[in-house]
Structure 1
Amino acid sequence: MFKKSLIAGAIVTATFAFASSAFAIGGASGPKVTYPVKGKLGAVIMNPYKIAPLTAVIRNGGYVVTDVSVRIVPKENGQEIAYKVSDKQVRTHGGIPVFGLYPDYVNSVEVSYTRTNHGKSERVEKEVYKIYAQPFSLEQPGSAVGPLFKATVKKLDPEFKDRLILINNLAADPAANASRVVWNNPMGGALEWNYGAQNAIIDTTGEIRWYMDPDAIYDATNIYKAGIMMGFRQNEDGALSWGYGQRYAKYDLMGREIFNRRLPDGYNDFSHAMDAMQNGNFLLRVASSDVLRGDGKHVRTVRDVIIEVSPTGEVVDEWRLFDILDPYRDDVLKVLDQGAVCLNIDASQAGKTLSAEDLAKMDESDRFGDIVGSGPGRNWAHINSVDYDPTDDSIIISSRHQSAVIKIGRDKKVKWIMGSPQGWKGDFAKKVLTPVDKNGKKIKCENSKCEGTFDWTWTQHTGWRIDSKSDKNVFYLSVFDNGDARGMEQPAIPSMKYSRAVVYKIDQKKMTVQQVWEYGKERGHEWYSPVTSLTEYHKDKDSIFVYSATAGATYNLQSGAFESAPNPFIEEFKWGAKEPSLEIQLHNVSGYQAMPIDVNKAFNTK
């Protein structure tokens, strides 16, 4: 692996004549300073926090530096990155943070600032630093090809040219040195998932402008420092939060650690979702380290617990979903494609389903762990997203293996269920929303299928509240409808499957749901993502951002076996538009999620 240097030693120059030596040398009576100083400020430190190689800090050189702006001059036909830097951020990083350098390239970085020393201030309107950033050097498994992925820009409307997009993907295979561990004390759990990190930010020309080198924080051989990095979100302060394995973390875009903690001891196996709440706390999708079942067996549960943690790491509350929902509702479990049970993709099982007898035998057995089955200790729920509604202090969860998005209050009572009514019993059946058309007229539904254009979501991901369009009564919900087991069945031909990005409008008083927008059905099987993916509203452009993250794989229609890695699609739509304003396709990569990143939010926080 290419070794990093603290100082940008290859090329760091300024575009004006500087009359002093490149090295500040102290005399016998004073300290000796031997770092290279090029420009009116201090040295340039590359990759200052060891995990973001395409970042740098232009040190303050002993001055008080204020009123900073940065511009990364684009390559020919490239995308400009420009942002203001708050005085707080300059103080935090000891100088000017530089983000978005091109790898293996001499970057021109334009900075403007005011420098003050001993009460005297000087305004520098434009100073150019030439900064060389190292070639892409992330270690990948042996089967990986090239630097993470390649991107093809297929459509780009002018309004979206400034987008920077965080890509959170999964390595094609576990690293060769990954730990091979399955929790067995007590039985069950999901620790075996241990794929390397593939996290990068691309611009709208497809160039990688940031990536994570996780060596400083990730160790595939250590169960407490390994696991799939998932659940990335940009917080209101501009920093990124996410989790991996037995940890959850928050870092800024420069790679500076805000926190990186082990899960509290009573919980394990983070994956999929970490949500920053409006009250400053975080919601984490985890599992319980020890549950005593009704039959007296102790198990680790699987993907079925939500905890709320404070900024300092205390567990404020928990939602034990095996106590709140019905963990034995198996209607969806019996029709899932066993070749694509989210992370557990097994081409040899493509198209196969579990019979009632199969599930009954499993329920009676001591087989626990990350396997499809009902009851605590098995993957009966597979919660893959969590969101918060501050208007009534509730959480919204997406349960893949129940094909339902569900709202649950602080009192642990279900408020509504957005999903097929089939199999919901007792009080749960009363909480299933009623589909209506745009005029509020009830839509006829039978056997998990509805008339007209309305459809439920199936094995969905990212059931998120659209905050800026919702209020206490009206709830707008964005979802990625993966589409496996659509209509509670497998289609006659695998190529009949399709996915959708969907927006619903829920009247929480009337307990009705209206489908107001969808995309993907018309794209057919080429856009089908059996697992992962994302649909999310963005207020800055009044848009819907979509990542069909495991689409575009080719496979043998006879055997069902995959013959290539996925080729995912990124799209962004103006609100209500039928066609995207932005479309980028990635190649030969297994995607998880992607989302726009606001660089000004990251560096101009007051």
Structure 2
Amino acid sequence: MKKGKVRRTVILIIVACMILTVLGCVAWKKRIGIYNTYMKMTGREPSRTTQWVLKGKEIGYHKQVIKTGKNKSETLQIADNGSNMEKVESTITQEASWVDTSLEVDQQLEEEQKNGYTWEEPLIVQNPYRYSPLTAVILFDTDEECEVRVTVKGKTEAADIEGTIDASTSHRVPVVGLYAGQENTVLLELLDDTGKVSDSQEIKITTDELPEKMNDAVTPVKTSGESALPLTIVHGQGARYPYAYDCMGDVRWYLDRKSDKFGIYPLSNDRFLFAAGDIGITNIGKPDTSDLYEADYLGRAYKLYYIQQGVHHDIAEKEPGGNLLILSNSGEEYYWDMIQEIDRETGEVVDELKLSDIFRKQYVNSIDWAHINTISYQASDDTILISPRNLSAAVKIKWSTKEIVWMLGDPKLWKDTEFEQYVLQPEDDFVYQFYQHSVYQLTADLDGNPETQEISMFDNHASFFKDRIKDIYDNPKESYVLVYSVNEKDKTVKQIKKIPVTYSQITSNTCYDETSGHIFGMCGYVKGRSGINYEMDYETGEIINQYQISSWFYRSTPMKIDYNDLASAMETDENYICGELLKPVETTKKLTKTTDQMPDESEVSMRLMDRILYVRSDYHAISQIIFSGEDHTYVYDLSDKLIFSEKMMLVNQEMAVPLTDMSADSYDVYVVYKDEFYNSGQTITIK
């Protein structure tokens, strides 16, 4: 070979190597290198979280003043009853829990009852528990045992709100459903043992105006003058202060306490679980609340659960009064993808399912790949029915074995995957759902076949991940109330009802009232960020009532009132504050203290509730909270927590930090805020 040709060959090789090196560096810099390409080709593409770590550009703040390593995720079991406030002294404002303030008022009412108020001169206490302004209690005694019927008179007879309390001689009568900003007429009737009225009287109760945010909250578009639901609750998202309206669209109840973005979760005992607003667990997505109260419609709270991984979208009971199945977050790689079973008494996590453990590599390709938005439990076969919205599928799973029973969704989405075998096969033609909400198994037999199960669904018929559905999405720009008939034995499904409603891109739900045969389409997110609620005849699809909701909302649900429960004195568990939280970790590493004080514009604030420290700041602005004592040092470390969007940092967050396991000492509180180290100026002494 000639020397010139050899020289050219060597030069070409060198140039090629240089180009490959440059391309490799660029590929590494941009994270689109050979490694990622190979991972994609082999179906093992790293999750977005892993890719962000590769970038070395984690969003948020991650500085450690005390090096604790990564993954400090040890949790602490909470078992408390509000009796330990005196064990903590602090410069930080201390407050009682909602349960404690409820108990205090309830005990005062019990004492007041002993003063012997009479039927002729009862005691009327409006909004006794501070948080439910359109309620009251009426105290009086009678010589003979009798039932009491209480009726808040409505603007029409159909708008009356009525309930009956069991027979007694000592009466604490709950009043629910007052109108705001007017004098209300409340009819009390004494009933003898045959149910006949032995005496009656009218009582007047005057209320304050609604808060400005609730003015014109509901506007009737079409009303028949009556409804299958005496009161309908609107909650979550744009309705952070839950409220309820009657058949005429008038607000008759609201809770003057801010919820989180998902609002409240009705319980079988006609109470509800209240997800506290702005209190958020740091995870890769949006902060979800850690604080979950069991409360009633008078505004009493009975229990506080701490949920370490946060709770979102939905909660189900395994049985009335039994364990809770909550939707939660798996942690660092994904969010809105996990189900946990919570012990109803202790708040302990006793079982869990990460949905990625079932679906593995297929479809698990984004942080919010699942987006579970409903869950229910069927005790008859120990199954859960869930709605992973971003899979456009409803999935039934055996809870004890974590095995898929069936899936309801377009078979085209699952063709040639290992999940194809679980997909129900359609009988007759129907349009499949896209990015649905509110999937529940009904108790009613709507198809006349005892061998089938009826499933209701709100089909948003939206299109978020168009690459997944681009070949099958029909883009009708309307949503649907759907009912399916599922034959589990044959693995088949029929769509037995499809009622078009206003297009609602996200949130929303449907429910069915078996007594009236009415079905409801609650459109939570329509154009202009408002809502529309429909009450329809199931058989004909005819609209019976239609209400315009001024704000968008997460869900709208029936309000069911247990008057005897509301009339009873509170009973709580021994440890009515319970659950699990990430714990501060003790360290022997020396802290080099700082005298720098928190800047005024830091937005950091603190409050103490029993032995829980709440720290408020912008989301992910705090990476460490350090408790420096004379003999002990503890670090609450969030430095390894990742978030996926800078937009999340505009959200306000309040973190619940447990002090219950910290040794007796006097501590100065330091904060690593936006990667700067500050002395908060606050002290905590644990006795």
Secondary structure, counterpart of 2:419 in structure 1: helix
Contact 1:546 1:572 in 2 (8 A): yes
Query: Are 1:210 and 2:253 counterparts?
Result: yes
Query: Are 1:127 and 2:201 counterparts?
Result: yes
Alignment of 1:69-148 (within 5 A): 69-75=149-155, 79-87=159-167, 95-113=172-190, 125-137=199-211, 146-147=213-214
Secondary structure, counterpart of 2:418 in structure 1: helix
Query: How far 1:134 moved relative to its partner?
Result: 1.8
* Counterpart residue number, 2:445: 469
Secondary structure, counterpart of 2:525 in structure 1: coil
Query: Are 1:479 and 2:468 counterparts?
Result: no
Match of 2:334 among 284, 301, 309: 301
Query: How far 1:156 moved relative to its partner?
Result: 3.1
Query: Are 1:150 and 2:217 counterparts?
Result: yes
Deviations 1:81-122 (A, max 9, x none): 11112359x97xx6110110111111111112379xxxxxx9
The 1:301–1:408 alpha-carbon spacing in structure 2 relative to 1, beyond 3 Å, is same
- Mean Cα deviation higher: 77-86 or 42-51: 77-86
* Counterpart residue number, 2:132: 52
Letter in 2 for 1:498: E
* Counterpart residue number, 1:316: 350
The 1:385–1:492 alpha-carbon spacing in structure 2 relative to 1, beyond 3 Å, is closer
1-structure distance, mates of 2:133, 2:118: 21
- Mean Cα deviation higher: 242-251 or 413-422: 242-251
Match of 1:403 among 383, 392, 395: 392
The 1:236–1:249 alpha-carbon spacing in structure 2 relative to 1, beyond 3 Å, is same
2-structure distance, mates of 1:311, 1:582: 38
Deviations 1:190-219 (A, max 9, x none): xxxxxx7231010011110000001xxx5x
Match of 1:581 among 544, 547, 565: 544
2-structure distance, mates of 1:473, 1:418: 18
Query: Are 1:239 and 2:271 counterparts?
Result: yes
RMSD: 3.6
The 1:392–1:160 alpha-carbon spacing in structure 2 relative to 1, beyond 3 Å, is same
* Counterpart residue number, 1:269: 310
Alignment of 1:413-562 (within 5 A): 413-424=403-414, 426-437=417-428, 452=429, 454-469=430-445, 473-485=451-463, 488-489=468-469, 496-520=476-500, 527-551=502-526, 553=527
TM-score (norm 1): 0.65
Secondary structure, counterpart of 1:468 in structure 2: coil
Query: How far 1:572 moved relative to its partner?
Result: 1.9
Letter in 2 for 1:69: R
Secondary structure, counterpart of 1:98 in structure 2: strand
2-structure distance, mates of 1:161, 1:85: 22
The 1:427–1:478 alpha-carbon spacing in structure 2 relative to 1, beyond 3 Å, is same
The 1:595–1:389 alpha-carbon spacing in structure 2 relative to 1, beyond 3 Å, is same
Letter in 1 for 2:462: D
Deviations 1:551-576 (A, max 9, x none): 2x1xxxxxxxxxx332x221122332
2-structure distance, mates of 1:87, 1:309: 36
1-structure distance, mates of 2:344, 2:517: 30
Letter in 2 for 1:320: K
Deviations 1:463-494 (A, max 9, x none): 10002338984121111111112995469999
* Counterpart residue number, 1:5: none
2-structure distance, mates of 1:321, 1:44: 51
* Counterpart residue number, 2:359: 325
* Counterpart residue number, 2:558: 596
The 1:414–1:605 alpha-carbon spacing in structure 2 relative to 1, beyond 3 Å, is farther
The 1:541–1:148 alpha-carbon spacing in structure 2 relative to 1, beyond 3 Å, is same
Contact 2:482 2:498 in 1 (8 A): yes
Contact 1:54 1:211 in 2 (8 A): yes
2-structure distance, mates of 1:231, 1:417: 28
Alignment of 1:338-349 (within 5 A): none
1-structure distance, mates of 2:564, 2:509: 22
Percent identity of paired positions between Structure 1 and Structure 2: 25
Letter in 2 for 1:584: Y
Letter in 2 for 1:250: E
Contact 1:491 1:497 in 2 (8 A): no
The 1:123–1:580 alpha-carbon spacing in structure 2 relative to 1, beyond 3 Å, is closer
Secondary structure, counterpart of 1:395 in structure 2: strand
The 1:498–1:434 alpha-carbon spacing in structure 2 relative to 1, beyond 3 Å, is same
The 1:518–1:601 alpha-carbon spacing in structure 2 relative to 1, beyond 3 Å, is farther
Structure 1 stretches lacking a partner, 5+ long: 1-30, 116-121, 138-144, 172-195, 219-225, 290-298, 331-372, 438-451, 554-563
* Counterpart residue number, 1:15: none
The 1:586–1:227 alpha-carbon spacing in structure 2 relative to 1, beyond 3 Å, is closer
Contact 1:407 1:415 in 2 (8 A): yes
The 1:601–1:456 alpha-carbon spacing in structure 2 relative to 1, beyond 3 Å, is farther
Deviations 1:201-247 (A, max 9, x none): 10011110000001xxx5xxxxxxx73243522x3322123434112
* Counterpart residue number, 1:385: 374
Deviations 1:325-348 (A, max 9, x none): 235416xxxxxxxxxxxxxxxxxx
1-structure distance, mates of 2:506, 2:313: 12
Contact 2:128 2:137 in 1 (8 A): yes
Alignment of 1:165-314 (within 5 A): 165-171=232-238, 197-214=240-257, 227-233=260-266, 235-244=267-276, 245-263=289-307, 265=308, 268-278=309-319, 280-289=322-331, 299=332, 301-312=334-345, 313-314=347-348
The 1:41–1:590 alpha-carbon spacing in structure 2 relative to 1, beyond 3 Å, is same
Query: How far 1:71 moved relative to its partner?
Result: 0.9
TM-score (norm 2): 0.58
Contact 1:168 1:232 in 2 (8 A): no
Query: Which structure ranks higher in relative contact order (CA pairs < 8 Å, sequence separation ≥ 6)?
Result: 2
Contact 1:157 1:582 in 2 (8 A): yes
